[in-house]
């Protein structure tokens, strides 16, 4: 079991940017795929992005492709989600989650064993 702590959420205007961080403790980050999920009020939690274990391949939902970028810093045990060109539809609580190895279907919540507490992202003028 690992512990995950997200940070970096906040209020931003449409078109703006935010960078979320997910700090992992309790094990080696390199052994884990880290997924980013979001949940808006009244909606199901949806997969946003995933960075694979070991080779750091990145996967994105169609809704964020070209706007969001995920990266990892294994030395600092932190994964980042850079979010650009934010839209009101991106408003949600964002969660990071860890899976040992890389899930075959990265966007399924059940593929991940450990979750952070979430950070609120609000895109509004």
pLDDT in tens, the chain (125 residues): 899 999 999 999 999 999 999 999 999 999 999 999 999 999 999 999 999 998 889 999 999 999 999 999 999 999 999 999 999 999 999 999 999 988 999 999 999 999 999 999 999 99
Q: Beta-carbon neighbour count of residue 23 at 10 Å?
A: 17
Residue 11: what are its φ and ψ, rounded to 5°? -100, 130
What contacts 66, CB < 8 A, 6 or more positions away?
none
pLDDT of 65 reads 98
pLDDT of 114 reads 97
In which element (H, E) is residue 22 found?
Answer: strand 18-25
CA dist 27 and 103 (Å) reads 18
Q: Tell me the three state secondary structure of residue 115.
A: strand
pLDDT of 92 reads 98
pLDDT of 121 reads 98
pLDDT of 107 reads 96
């Amino acid at each position: 079991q690992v512990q995950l702590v997200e940070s970096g959420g906040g209020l931003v205007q449409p078109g703006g940017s935010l960078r979320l961080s997910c700090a992992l403790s309790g094990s080696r980050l390199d052994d884990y795929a880290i997924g980013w999920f979001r949940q808006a009020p009244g909606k199901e939690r949806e997969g946003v992005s995933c960075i694979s274990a070991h080779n750091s391949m990145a996967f994105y939902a169609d809704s964020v492709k070209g706007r969001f970028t995920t990266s990892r810093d294994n030395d600092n045990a932190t994964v980042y989600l850079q979010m650009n060109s934010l839209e009101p539809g991106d408003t949600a609580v964002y969660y990071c989650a860890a899976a040992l190895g890389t899930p075959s279907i990265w966007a399924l919540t059940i593929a991940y064993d450990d979750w952070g507490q979430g950070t609120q992202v609000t895109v509004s003028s």
